[in-house]
């Protein structure tokens, strides 16, 4: 049985295909269109999924969607009526999209896919809950889903057992931790639904000196339920987020790309602190309701790695599962699993152990691309020789684009579409931010290490395959790996085993032979403003337009200095546009 789960029209459009309850393929639409957070109907992602399974739309039993449009439309209408006439400009602007697309979703799916089968809709937060619990290793688990907003819910507490999920408490729009975080993100001059992670990183540089001011904005009860003072916000009836009252309280909005003041940094730190306090209270309450030490989380706020890394310290939960595409991209996947496991009551057959679910390219395909475009390269017959060479280049402070296997599912590069560099070089963080990523200088980089070496460097007993937890780096190791040690002494860790990703693992171990350190910098293979690379062409263009020194594509090694700089001149102009777009 094939089930296709999709999401679109808000942010992070994506598709995921199940075969008999197991994922065959999954990818975000942005990777194909090269438009970051592409919201459009994910026709390219759908075509990839069908192609990967070698089937047509006629083989699909169901297509599932990650929310219920009519209920969401009800919320839009209610909010706009309540705030009329102030809401009318936004209402007028939004109606064409609703009338032409969002309310006609079933017919759009059938028309764009040429599909005549059943289309099923799953409640947004139920889809999130399914996306984390039904593919977790747990037979039973507490569940927290927390994001901006679905139909009405913004936060849901629940419990999963076997194939069944119950959401027993919810907080509803306009009260939302996710929208509070987005509102402050906009206030600080960053992009909503894109840059919240930047604010999370910025928070480590500051102090929560505005905590009493934030307590006026959000009231948090002992059980973690909360409410916002909506006089500080206008997102429920305008396209902007914060009100004049918020600006009067905290000062003028930061102009995008302008200098960051101490005020901005401390506001970010305060936002992070109050988010943590709210989440720890609700998680402690969730434990009291479920008495289960397993926790599954999903929704955009579940990507807050700083919070995630502190959960075990501040709550009774011992085992935590968060899948790599925890935002809306993964909710379409959740809707498919909900139909298969819960509605149809089919046995749970799948546990997500890696994220390598996107497109992959054969060695013949890559070689044809290189030769057709007259790109100079070295071909290695022996993987071990290439990986030793790669480790030596990293040791010599060269920056490597590492392209292999199938692309990752979710926003993190996990070794198949990664940029690798030397964490022992104290200048490498600044070099990568300036010469390669073209992004803000405060942005940190993540470490990757092997599962057996993890405890030597980090203050935690739990590694993480999907790079979704921030843990303290041991004090005696912080000077050893300065370019992945954040200012507060932490790092967003990825751990890898030989079984999960043999070539990636081997590069780390070869680097250890040279440096004595089984850690690398791993950052996503892209530049600011562009999605992670998908194809060999994407990877080569990215290298030629940045300070990446070498590109490893399967068994081929390509040097930027060995190839004509004018071959991809068109990339340079595009790069500048992307940088300006952020």
Could you report the per-residue pLDDT of 43-81, keeping only the tens digit for each?
999 999 999 999 999 999 999 999 999 999 888 888 888
Residue 569 is predicted with a pLDDT of 52
pLDDT(571) > 80: no
Mean pLDDT of 336-355: 97
Is residue 209 within 8 Å of residue 266, measured between CB atoms?
Answer: yes
Residue 568 is predicted with a pLDDT of 54
Residue 440 is predicted with a pLDDT of 86
Mean pLDDT of 202-218: 97
What distance in Å separates the CA atoms of residue 527 and residue 34, rounded to the nearest whole number?
Answer: 12
Residue 567 is predicted with a pLDDT of 54
Mean pLDDT of 134-139: 98
Q: How far apart are the first and last CA of the chain?
A: 42
Residue 495 is predicted with a pLDDT of 98
Residue 547 is predicted with a pLDDT of 93
Q: How would residue 339 be classed by pLDDT, with cut points 50, 70 and 90?
A: very high
pLDDT in tens, 354-365: 999 999 999 999
pLDDT(579) > 50: no
Share the mean pLDDT of the chain.
Answer: 94
* pLDDT over 90 percentage in the chain: 87
Choose between 182 and 564: higher pLDDT.
Answer: 182
CATH homologous superfamily of domain 363-581?
Carbamoyltransferase, C-terminal domain (3.90.870.20)
Mean pLDDT of 4-27: 97
Domain with CATH 3.90.870.20 in the chain: 363-581
Domain with CATH 3.30.420.40 in the chain: 2-135+325-343, 172-322
Mean pLDDT of 509-523: 98
Q: How would residue 28 be classed by pLDDT, with cut points 50, 70 and 90?
A: very high
pLDDT(319) > 70: yes
Q: What is the β-pairing status of strands 153-161 and 140-146?
A: antiparallel
Is residue 18 within 8 Å of residue 24, measured between CB atoms?
Answer: yes
Name residues whose C-beta falls within 8 Å of residue 171's C-beta, 6 or more positions apart in sequence.
153, 154, 155, 156, 225, 226
Is residue 187 within 8 Å of residue 246, measured between CB atoms?
Answer: yes
Range from 89-98, 160-169, 197-206, 490-499 carrying the lowest mean pLDDT: 89-98
Candidates 3.40.50.1460, 3.40.50.300, 3.30.420.40, 2.30.31.70; CATH matching 172-322: 3.30.420.40
Let me know if domain 2-135+325-343 sits in CATH 3.30.230.10: no
Residue 11 is predicted with a pLDDT of 85
What distance in Å separates the CA atoms of residue 202 and residue 200, rounded to the nearest whole number?
Answer: 6
Name residues whose C-beta falls within 8 Å of residue 59's C-beta, 6 or more positions apart in sequence.
2, 53
pLDDT(577) > 60: no
pLDDT(581) > 60: no
What distance in Å separates the CA atoms of residue 150 and residue 86, rounded to the nearest whole number?
Answer: 23
Is residue 202 within 8 Å of residue 268, measured between CB atoms?
Answer: yes
Residue 566 is predicted with a pLDDT of 61
pLDDT(375) > 60: yes
Q: How would residue 522 be classed by pLDDT, with cut points 50, 70 and 90?
A: very high
């Amino acid at each position: 049985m094939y089930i296709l789960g999709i999401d679109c029209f808000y942010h992070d459009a994506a598709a995921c295909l199940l075969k008999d309850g197991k994922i065959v393929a999954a990818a975000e639409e942005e990777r194909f269109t090269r438009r970051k957070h592409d919201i459009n109907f994910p026709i390219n992602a759908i075509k990839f999924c069908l192609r990967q399974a070698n089937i047509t739309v006629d083989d699909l039993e169901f297509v599932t969607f990650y929310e219920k449009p009519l209920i969401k439309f009800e919320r839009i209408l209610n909010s706009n009526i309540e705030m009329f006439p102030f809401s009318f400009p936004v209402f007028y602007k939004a109606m064409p999209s609703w009338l032409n697309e969002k309310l006609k979703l079933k017919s759009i799916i059938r028309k764009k896919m040429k599909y005549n089968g059943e289309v099923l809709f799953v409640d947004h937060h139920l889809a999130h809950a399914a996306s984390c619990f039904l593919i977790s290793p747990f037979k039973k688990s507490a569940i927290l889903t927390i994001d901006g907003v679905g139909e009405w819910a913004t936060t849901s507490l629940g419990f999963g057992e076997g194939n069944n999920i119950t959401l027993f408490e919810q907080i509803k729009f306009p009260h939302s931790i996710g929208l509070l975080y987005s509102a402050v993100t906009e206030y600080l001059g960053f992009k909503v639904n894109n840059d919240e992670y930047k604010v999370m990183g910025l928070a480590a540089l500051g102090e929560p000196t505005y905590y009493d001011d934030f307590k006026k904005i959000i009231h948090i009860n002992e059980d973690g339920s909360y409410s916002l003072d909506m006089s500080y916000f206008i997102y429920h009836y305008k396209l902007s987020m914060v009100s004049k009252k918020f600006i009067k309280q905290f000062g003028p909005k930061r102009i995008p790309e302008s200098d960051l003041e101490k005020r901005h940094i401390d506001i970010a730190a305060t936002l992070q602190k109050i988010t943590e306090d709210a989440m720890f209270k609700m998680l402690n309450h969730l434990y009291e309701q479920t008495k289960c030490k397993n926790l599954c989380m999903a929704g955009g706020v579940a990507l807050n790695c700083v919070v995630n890394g502190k959960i075990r310290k501040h709550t009774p939960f011992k085992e935590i599962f968060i899948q790599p595409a925890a935002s809306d991209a993964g909710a379409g996947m959740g809707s498919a699993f909900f139909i298969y496991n819960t509605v149809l009551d089919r046995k749970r057959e799948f546990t997500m152990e890696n994220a390598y679910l996107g497109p992959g390219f054969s060695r013949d395909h890559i070689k044809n691309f290189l030769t057709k475009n007259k790109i100079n390269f070295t071909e290695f017959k022996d993987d071990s020789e290439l990986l030793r060479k790669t480790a030596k280049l990293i040791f010599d402070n060269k920056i490597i684009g590492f392209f292999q296997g199938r692309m990752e599912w979710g926003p993190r590069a996990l070794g198949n579409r990664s940029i690798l560099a030397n964490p022992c070089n104290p200048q490498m963080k600044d070099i990568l931010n300036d010469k390669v990523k073209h992004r803000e200088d405060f942005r940190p980089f993540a470490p990757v290490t092997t599962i057996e070496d993890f405890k030597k460097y980090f203050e935690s007993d739990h590694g993480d395959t999907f790079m979704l937890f921030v843990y303290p780096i041991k004090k005696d190791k912080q000077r050893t790996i300065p370019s992945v040690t954040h200012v507060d002494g932490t790092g967003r860790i990825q751990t890898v085993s030989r079984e999960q990703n043999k070539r990636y693992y081997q590069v780390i171990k070869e680097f250890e032979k040279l440096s004595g350190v089984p850690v690398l910098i791993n950052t996503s293979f892209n530049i600011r403003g562009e999605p992670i690379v998908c194809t060999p062409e994407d990877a080569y263009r990215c290298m030629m337009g940045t300070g990446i020194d070498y590109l490893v594509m399967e068994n081929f090694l390509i040097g930027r200095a060995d190839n004509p700089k004018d071959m991809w001149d068109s990339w340079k102009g595009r790069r500048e546009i992307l940088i300006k777009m952020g």
